[in-house]
Amino acid sequence: MNETDLINNAKHYIVQGQQLERKEPEVARKSFLAAAHMLVNASKSTTVTESKQRYVDVANALYWRAHAIEGSVVEEGSSDSEPDERIKSMLIAKPGTRFKDIAGLSDVKDEIKLKIIEPFKHPEIFKKYGKRVGGGVLMFGPPGCGKSLLAEATAGEADVAFFNVKASDLKSKFVGETERNIAALFKAARGQPNGAIIFFDEFEALGGERGTAGAHDRNFVSQLLTEMDSVGNKDQKILLIAATNLPWNVDLALRREGRFGVTVFVPPPDAEAREHILQLHLRDKPAAKDIDLHQLAGRTDGFSGADIKALCESATDIPLKEYLATKRARDITMEDFKTALSKRVATTQPWFGLAIRNLKQCPDDELAKQILAHAPSTD
């Protein structure tokens, strides 16, 4: 067979494997292995260096996917069929966080509802209107602005299991181990009776550009692509969310429609949200009546939620240190906040500078549009 025939046959076997993975796992396993075999042969047929490497990478990912299915077939019905301890440690079976627990970010919440939660709850309606069910959302923005909390709240709103995954949970120095971990993660998610959200934190460490990566990193990006392409099949209820502070480092193939085709910028909190966050962090502290939360919210423009928490801690430390020295207790005052503010700046400012510099080197109209809309004024 020529290269075109081999690729077409590989696509056929991949689709067959995705459709049968839960109902007939042994047939699905053989389909993925057949597709891998076709792609290896295609890599030998092509004269294009980039295509040769891409075929090998996808073949490798399919091999590990077949390997994960083989384990589930062998273990079926035994106590060892549960996900290993590493995967178990990522799972929150019933997240208690909801959108109402997060201050502000109403536009972001609405986008997540439209793109993630509602398609999951009402797939037939979205299909009627020609909308694809599945895929994922890539949340990006400065650190400390609530991306992880939003992801957990999304799982709470959808009433599904939540896998909180960091790059360090999956990556391994041993050849093939990272791919095996990714396959095991998706296998565990498919096994959740009511569906699951897989949340990838620090996503740039997992989904970096393959063009600048070594063979080991390319393999697990290809494994991710293979697993993600199966999400959204009619017999799977898996939703995907990823978060990154460095969106320009994420492989473009992962950001195409059907994978993480929706990008959502998570900005620093607005004034109303900052006031709510200040109130939250002072709730259980001895705060004086002279503290003007509205004024503090106005003076913390650009602060992340983490910055505001740190500000409250710094203001609290002032009377606490006085008590340790004098044994005289007093409440936290507005003056304490003014002192703490004089020593702090918003940590989001350097991030915006870094983002703008990187987008000039690697232009991305959608990312640039969202970032520039929220960038602080340089006047």
129-157 burial code (b ≥16 CB/10 A, e <16): eeeebbbbbbbbbbebbbbbbbbbbbbbb
Sheet holding 238-244, edge to edge: 91-92, 161-166, 196-201, 238-244, 136-140, 262-265
Kindly report whether the global pTM for this prediction surpasses the value 0.95.
no
Please give the pLDDT value at position 303: 95
Rounded Cα gap, residues 355 and 115, in angstroms: 25
pLDDT beneath 50: ranges in the chain: 73-83
Please give the pLDDT value at position 58: 82
Please give the pLDDT value at position 76: 41
Please give the pLDDT value at position 26: 82
The model's pLDDT over 297-314, given as tens digits with 9 standing for 90+, comes to 999 999 999 999 999 999
Q: Which CATH number is 3-75 given? A: 1.20.58
Please give the pLDDT value at position 75: 42
Specify the fold of 84-265.
Answer: Rossmann fold (3.40.50)
β-strand pairing of 262-265 with 136-140: parallel
Please give the pLDDT value at position 363: 58
Is the separation of the CB atoms in 315 and 340 below 8 Å?
A: yes
Contacts of 374 (CB under 8 A, 6+ apart): 265, 267, 268, 352
Among 284, 295, 294, 280, CA closest to 332: 284
Indicate the domain borders of the chain: 3-75, 84-265, 271-342
Please give the pLDDT value at position 80: 40
9-36 burial code (b ≥16 CB/10 A, e <16): bbeebbebbbbbbeeebeebbbbbbbbb
Specify the fold of 271-342.
Answer: Helicase, Ruva Protein; domain 3 (1.10.8)
Please give the pLDDT value at position 371: 84
